[in-house]
Structure formats: C-alpha cells, structure tokens
Structure 1
Amino acid sequence: MVNSAARKLEKERIDKGDFPKEDISWSSVSLSEILERDNRLEASTFNINRDHAIQLLKNSKYELALLGTNEFGFKDCFYGPRAKRNYLTNIDNTSIGFLGSSEMLDIFPNPVKFVSPDNPMINSLSLTEETILISRSGTIGNITFVNKSLSKFLVSEHAIRLVMNEFPGFVYTYLKTDVAQNLLHAEKFGSVILEIEPEAIKNMLIPNPPVLIKQKIHDLIIDSYCKRDESNDLINEATRILIDALELPPMEDMEKEAFSYSEEISSFPVKLSELNGRLEGNYYTTVVPVIEKYLSKNAELFRLRDKKITDKIILAGVFKRNYVQKGQGYPFIGGKEITQLSPKTDKYLSYITHKKRYEKELRVKENWILVTDRGTIGKVVIVPKHMENMAISQNVLKIAPKIYPGYIYCFLNSDYGQLLIKRQSYGSVVNMIDNSCMGDVQVPILKNRKIVEKIDSLVLKANELRYEAYKQEQKAINIMNNDVLGL
C-alpha cells in the first residue's frame, strides 16, 4: 500500500522551489528511496556524494555485484564484543599488545597497552592474516589489511573485520577508493559519535571485473604488505644488533639497579650540579644515568644537537593555516598520520600564503627523522621517499641527520631511546618537547663503525622497501580507479 502510494507520488510533479545552489548542497529524495533505505531520514544517508558514487558504478564498464553474495562472498563480517580489558602494568614476553582503530593503521604497530594471554576477550579480538579491517566509529572508513606484523596483536571492537572467501586484496583496494568511501559514509549514524555497522558493508555495490584483473590487484596488495613485513623485520633485526652491540641489559634490570626502595616511597638524591634548570620529578628518574652508563661502555655519547651528527632540529612555529583545494597547496600531515605508510589528508596549505614557512619549517626530506612533540610524545618515523616534500605540522619535530640517519632512527625508536626522549618532556595538561630539549637527548655512536654502518644500512633498506610497498598499493588503486571504475 505504502509502496504504491510512493510510486504514485513520484509520478506527480512536485515543485521543489528555488534553492541557492552555490551556498548549500541539496538533492531531492523520493519516498521509495526512503523506504529502500530502511526509513532512515538522516541527510547523510541521501547525500549527493553517495548518489554520485552509485552513478559512477552504474556507468563503469563491468557488471555490478553485491558484497556478501556469490561473486564476492565472505566468510564473516563482524566486530568484537565490548569487554573489560584489564590492561597489564607489568609486561613480559607472554603479554599481547592491544591496538585501537587508529593504531592499527601504523606501518610498524607499536602497542602501548597489553593484556594477559589468559584474557577471555583474546579469541574475539585476535586477527588472522588477509582480514580487512574497517574503522567503524569516530573516524569512519579507515582501511587496513592484516599482515604478519599486525596479526600478532589484538584490535579493539571499533574495527569491523571482513574475511573474504577470495580476492581480499581486490576488495581492500576498492574500499579505499573515493567511490566506496562515499558509500560507507552514507551509512553512518549517531549524534555525538558517528558509527557504522557491518550491514554497511554487506550488500555494498562493487564492480565485478574479470578474474585476471581481480587477481592482479589482489597480488599487488599482498606483495605490498609482504614488503611492509620485510621492512619491519629489518628494523627489528637492526634494533637487536644495536642492543647486543651496546650490551644493554633489559630495562627491568636497569630499573632494579637504579632504584633503592623504602617501605613507603622510592627516593633518590639529586646533586645541585645535575639540576640543569629542570625541577620536574620525571626528568630526574635515576634509570637514565644507568642507561647512559651502559651506553658509554662501547660507544661515544653525542647530544642530538651536536653538529657532528645532526645538521638541524626544526620546531615549526604556530601559525594560522590557509587551507585550499587539492592541487592548489602543499599536502599537510599531522602527527597522527606520519606513522602510516600512505598518509591520507584532505588538508592542503596554500602555495601562496605558506611558501616561506613551508620551505623553512614544514618541508621534509627523505631519511629525515620525525618525532611527535606534544600529546603522545616520542613517536619516531624515518621519512620514506614518497613522503618527501610533504608539509608536516608544528606538532612534529624534524631532525636532519648529518650522518647515519638509519642508525640514529634505530636508537631513538628503541625502548632506551624512547625513555631518553620522554624524560625531556614538560608541561602540565598537555606534555610537550621542544627542539632544545630534543637536542639534549644522548645518542650513542658505537666505536665499531662497521656495526654502525650495518645497522644504518638495514634501516635504510627497510625505508626503501616501504617506498616499494607504497608504489605497489598506489598501482593497485590506479588500476581500480582507471581500468575498473573508469574514473
């Protein structure tokens, strides 16, 4: 009855009125469309981008199919249950890292939260390789692919798991396109925190090209993620060689050596000559002198600001940003995105307004080292080739090494380097570290330069592999956009 009434209304001429097309985005919606969309009335459900995406799919040269049907069937599409997580305070070799839907995007996942292997939520939040992960709340539609590196960890219930029967690399690539993203975002709901459900992915339209094309795109993604694994393995190997060469004991042993415990509090004296103008308690943790003692055993210590090892450390000033359309400005990346292989941004700084600041403070070069300087302090990244010339925000310190960039990155990214970085932080509400404090961080250059060169070479090789992985993923996306979607 309602459907027949809807069809009758659609035949009748309805006066839409005059809308200011330049000021707002608008479109008409038929009653039958509302019924087809489960009686939803949110504007986002019927947005113009969604309609445009569907029209592009209908105009593509290949027939369309639905995810979850015979052509693109999946074994499962779900997200884990909410559960009490009971994070561990004492970490050992059996502890399992726990990642959020933002951290899962990192090329080198480095969890800060851990749970016990006996935790009952492990089965529901664990991962299998070649699973597609889609962030479902807050920032919606971030996509990643589970490789060997990521499969070691748990990922929160804020990520939908999509396990395909075949060609997961093809589906992953499609979900990263603007067309699929517009379809996903049309399914979001909520007022304060936006969300999507697995039903947003089930029955999503997807082009169905010949098997040869699906296989080609799938293989490119698999190879891209294998290169990321290889890159991470090289960095882990370089870190192991560094720690062995420095003869560094586990951090727990250093802490036992550093602290003398009383029944009520842990305390230690600080000489007036050691104050360095700093009065914060975290700056004077006694494990730092212990670390530096071990570092100096087989290496020469340099302050990071030393011109023998570093050309400059850049702290960009705070400035009013003039954003422009893509193609009219510098891609602008924040501290949250620098840890991803392919940082995605919709922010572009005007070529005209920000040229001088870009050249002086924001532009980065290949093999520079980036360190987040506020909020979450100490995330360390070595700049791959495809990130060269991007504009990086003032929330990230830029270090231009003069020698051994891979080696310096390897130390700063280690547990010992991280402690020395975070020791330099200051602030009450939001912790920060500036270029001066970063310059105070001690870096050990091994006396055996052959080992230094080996570590440096391993990390730089890892960085090259990341560039190769990036190129392969971009090739897959270009095939999807050009040959499949016909954009």
Structure 2
Amino acid sequence: MAIRQIGAIGSASMPPRTALARAAPQESSLPYLRPYDVFDYLPTAADHVSVPRNANVDTFQITAGDILQTRSGRNLGPCTIADNELAKFALSDDMIRIKVDDKNERLLLLAYLKTSLGQALIRRGRSGSVIDHLTVPDVEAVPVPVFPKEVVHTVSGLVGKAIECRERGRSLLNELLRRLMDQYPHSESQRWTWWSMQARDLGERLDSGHHHPVVAHGRRQLHASNGVALGAMAKAILPIRYKRYYVEEGHGRPIVSGRQLLQPEPINLRYVSDRSFRNPEDYEIHAGCTVFGAVGRAEGRQAWPALVTSDRDGWLASNDVMRLVPRRGVRPGAVWLAVATPQVQAQIKALSFGSVVDHMNPWDVEQVIVPDIEDPLAKKAESAWEDFARSTELIGQAVARLEQSLEEFTR
C-alpha cells in the first residue's frame, strides 16, 4: 500500500509546558479538563484557569475539529476528536493536537488511529523511564496507508455521523442540566470558610464534609420543591467483592470500572471469566439502569452517573459500581437526571467514608433527596443517551471497515 506520514496529511502541535494559574472567584476564566476527561460522555470541568494571569491561554483552548492524541501516561494511545462542546474547554499540554484541513482525511485518520495497527504505530515511538511519553515528531512520523477511495468514503461517512450523534447527545444533556440548575439554583459558588454546629446534631458522622452547608441547603431546597427520597425512584445495589480472573477478549465478558462507565469507548477495557463469581448475574448491568462509581475520590468523578444503553446490556461492572434500578413506572432518564442534579451530587459525595479510599453504602444512597423529574425531560435524556450508543456503534463500524481493508491487503 502507498504510505504517507501524519505530518504530510496535516500537522501536530502541543501548547508549551507550563503551570496554569487557577482562577480566583469572579475572575475571567476558562473551564479546564484533565487529559482523560475528553474521553467522557459528558466532559465536566475539573477546575477553572485564569485568563488574565496565564500567558497565551488561548493556545490551551481546544479547537473543534482537532484530533486529540494522548502523549503520556500508562494507557498512552487513545485519541478522540474535538466537537463544539469540547471546544468550550481548555486542556493541558498532555494532549497533542493533530490538525487536518481535509474533512474526509481527518475523519479517516481518527478511525485509523483507533485500529490495532494505528495504536501499535502510535505506541512504538514512546519513551520514558517511568512514565511513557510521545513527542510531536513521534506523532507526525506515524505512517498512514492510502486507502481505496470507496473505503475513505465509507469510513469518513460513518465517523462523521458518529461525531454528530455524540455532539447532539452532549448538547442536549447540558441543556437539560442547565434547565434543572435554573429551576433549583445551587449554592456551590458560595465560599464557606467555617460554620458552626451543635454537638447533638452531628449524629454518627464527625467529618466536616458530611455536614457542609451546601449539602444541607440542597436537601432543604429539594424538600421544599416536593423532592422525594431516591429510594422511591430506584433501588440501589452494590455487589460484594469477588476474586478476579482476567482473560483475553473472546474468552470472557467485558467488565467496567466506575471511570470506564463514563467513557463511550472504555479505555483499557478488561475481560473477566464467569468463574470469578458465584452468581455472575449479580454483577451484570442492564439497559435503563443508572450507574456510578461508589468507590474512589469524593472530590473527583465519584458519584457522577451514566445511563446504561442497549449496547452495554449484559456487560459486567465491578463491585465498586453502584446500580440504581428504576422502580416500576419510573423512567430511566428521570433517575439519571435526578442523580446528576448538583444538589444530589453534593448529598451523595457527602456520604463517602473511609480512611484511604472513599466508599458509600447503598442504603445511604436511597435516603438522598432528589427532585421530581417530569416525563418530557426524562424522555429527552434517554434520547441523548441513545445518541451516545449510536455514536459508539458507528465508530466501531468504521474501525472494523479499516481493519478489513488492511487484512485484505495482507492476503
């Protein structure tokens, strides 16, 4: 096959390595993503960086249409493409930006970098004694086969539709969350430096985070708006620990962690044998359930929910994943939206306990107060998640078509 390098198709670049100053309250700022946040269904700002106090801050802002390639870390290799929703964020130098002017070539390159050959070629240039790294010249030197025109047309069409579906899903969910925030204004922006409490009100929890005024305010706010206990909408389930027997793909079922639940294309997806469990069905997740990481860092992505779609029906999830099974008559989208509301997120995170790793109990989760979600909003949320599932399916078809083309050439 004829070969070109990425540097001949487009160009690669990265911002200068520098420490970004965080934004102060009321200061002009940009929402900031950590590198692997770009792979989430719904990227959420990990912080805000100052605009006036960071030189050339515009070079860190994501540009729609750029291919974002990881350049460091244990799972070096995954890539994605920036849509208009991602373009609202700033991103560190840990992602290399690949610009390709021709749309069809850009979409084809994205799919190619996701093939087994593309991933192998990306990783061959890595270096580092402790943490793997890539440089811009490493990426630009990656060879890309010149595929037949019919393959380019098919693959670019599939990837283009996938990007549209994913952007539509993100835009719709962000709109729904904004509507809920307008309906239930959140006080998280208030800077609490201290507060007082009576000892008799502490109960069994002495940790301050459990009694934070934002948590109490959210509960009162939802109570006043006819909020209900989460247990009235869904049953919370958290399985017990198990002994893991990991196997290669094709010899077991995919199993996701709390972090991977948030990714349409799970990074470093593992497979596990059913002999790991006494009752494998206890660890299955099914379409319509809301799931979130119940073990991890409360200040991180712990408690942030995902709605299980049909493409993941029957997958396995670890014992670190909380399952919320909707009660009869409750729409799945209503459960997801309720849990994603800021007041509910604050309550769930406040349930965390543990000296090293944060944990929570399902019976505590069921006591959280959630808003009453109307059916029209719930239906829209479900539609957005269906767009996510369709997007992942289309990307898979595009990658499979390229794999087939490469295999045909080697016969």
TM-score (norm 2): 0.90
2:87 corresponds to 1:159: no
Where do 5+ consecutive residues of structure 2 fail to align?
Answer: none
The Cα of 1:485 is off from its aligned counterpart by 4.4
**SS at 1:134's partner residue?**
strand
- Mapping for residues 316-395 of structure 1, pairs under 5 Å: 316-351=239-274, 353-360=275-282, 362-376=283-297, 377-395=302-320
Q: Distance in 2 between matches of 1:293 and 1:224?
A: 41
**Bigger shift: residues 175-184 or 212-221:** 212-221
Match of 1:84 in 2: 19
The Cα of 1:484 is off from its aligned counterpart by 4.5
2:388 corresponds to 1:466: yes
Q: Is the 8 A contact 2:78 2:267 kept in 1?
A: no
Q: Distance in 2 between matches of 1:286 and 1:201?
A: 49
Q: Distance in 1 between matches of 2:4 and 2:215?
A: 60
Q: Is the 8 A contact 2:15 2:59 kept in 1?
A: yes
Which amino acid is the alignment partner of residue 239 of structure 1? Answer: L
2:146 corresponds to 1:203: no
The Cα of 1:252 is off from its aligned counterpart by 5.0
Match of 2:113 in 1: 175
The Cα of 1:317 is off from its aligned counterpart by 1.9
Match of 2:376 in 1: 454
Shift in alpha-carbon separation, 1:347–1:291, aligned structure 2, 3 A? closer
The structure 2 residue matched to 1:427, chosen from 348, 354, 361, is 354
Q: Distance in 1 between matches of 2:25 and 2:355?
A: 26
**SS at 1:426's partner residue?**
coil
Shift in alpha-carbon separation, 1:406–1:89, aligned structure 2, 3 A? farther
Shift in alpha-carbon separation, 1:165–1:267, aligned structure 2, 3 A? closer
Shift in alpha-carbon separation, 1:301–1:78, aligned structure 2, 3 A? same
Which amino acid is the alignment partner of residue 455 of structure 1? Answer: L
The Cα of 1:205 is off from its aligned counterpart by 2.0
Match of 1:53 in 2: none
Match of 1:47 in 2: none
The Cα of 1:192 is off from its aligned counterpart by 0.8
- Mapping for residues 269-284 of structure 1, pairs under 5 Å: 269-270=197-198, 272=200, 274-284=201-211
2:241 corresponds to 1:305: no
The Cα of 1:228 is off from its aligned counterpart by 1.0
The Cα of 1:154 is off from its aligned counterpart by 1.2
Deviation sequence 1:98-120 (CA, Å, 0-9, x none): 11221111121001211122222
Where do 5+ consecutive residues of structure 1 fail to align?
Answer: 1-61, 260-264, 447-451
Q: Distance in 2 between matches of 1:235 and 1:327?
A: 34
Q: Distance in 1 between matches of 2:110 and 2:30?
A: 26
Which amino acid is the alignment partner of residue 65 of structure 1? Answer: R
Shift in alpha-carbon separation, 1:97–1:187, aligned structure 2, 3 A? same
Q: Distance in 1 between matches of 2:340 and 2:121?
A: 38
The Cα of 1:222 is off from its aligned counterpart by 2.1
Q: Is the 8 A contact 2:352 2:360 kept in 1?
A: yes
Q: Is the 8 A contact 1:268 1:286 kept in 2?
A: no
**Bigger shift: residues 362-371 or 431-440:** 431-440
**Bigger shift: residues 196-205 or 324-333:** 196-205
Match of 2:6 in 1: 67
Q: Distance in 2 between matches of 1:203 and 1:266?
A: 55
Which amino acid is the alignment partner of residue 395 of structure 1? Answer: D
Match of 1:31 in 2: none
Q: Is the 8 A contact 2:242 2:277 kept in 1?
A: no
Q: Distance in 2 between matches of 1:114 and 1:83?
A: 16
2:33 corresponds to 1:99: yes
Q: Is the 8 A contact 2:107 2:156 kept in 1?
A: yes
The structure 1 residue matched to 2:173, chosen from 232, 235, 246, is 235
Q: After TM superposition, which residue ranges in structure 1, 4 or more long, deviate above 4 angstroms?
A: none
Q: Distance in 1 between matches of 2:303 and 2:24?
A: 20
Match of 1:290 in 2: 217
Q: Distance in 2 between matches of 1:200 and 1:66?
A: 10
The structure 2 residue matched to 1:221, chosen from 159, 172, 176, is 159
Q: Distance in 2 between matches of 1:91 and 1:413?
A: 25
The structure 2 residue matched to 1:122, chosen from 17, 36, 57, is 57
Shift in alpha-carbon separation, 1:442–1:271, aligned structure 2, 3 A? farther
**SS at 2:158's partner residue?**
helix
**Bigger shift: residues 330-339 or 282-291:** 282-291
**SS at 1:196's partner residue?**
coil
Structure with bigger gyration radius: 1
The Cα of 1:186 is off from its aligned counterpart by 1.6
Q: How many residues align?
A: 399
Match of 1:449 in 2: none
2:317 corresponds to 1:399: no
Q: Is the 8 A contact 1:132 1:145 kept in 2?
A: yes
Match of 2:365 in 1: 438
Q: Is the 8 A contact 2:3 2:144 kept in 1?
A: yes
**Identity, % of aligned pairs?**
23
Shift in alpha-carbon separation, 1:133–1:485, aligned structure 2, 3 A? farther
Match of 2:187 in 1: 251
Q: Distance in 1 between matches of 2:87 and 2:149?
A: 28
CA RMSD of aligned residues (A): 2.1
Q: Distance in 2 between matches of 1:422 and 1:67?
A: 44
Shift in alpha-carbon separation, 1:267–1:241, aligned structure 2, 3 A? closer
Q: Distance in 1 between matches of 2:44 and 2:126?
A: 29
The structure 2 residue matched to 1:143, chosen from 52, 69, 79, is 79
Q: Distance in 2 between matches of 1:249 and 1:170?
A: 43
Q: Is the 8 A contact 1:421 1:438 kept in 2?
A: yes
Q: Is the 8 A contact 1:326 1:346 kept in 2?
A: no
Q: Distance in 1 between matches of 2:401 and 2:304?
A: 33
Q: Distance in 2 between matches of 1:298 and 1:440?
A: 16
Q: Is the 8 A contact 1:424 1:433 kept in 2?
A: yes
Deviation sequence 1:379-411 (CA, Å, 0-9, x none): 211112212211111222111112122122112
Q: Is the 8 A contact 1:239 1:411 kept in 2?
A: no
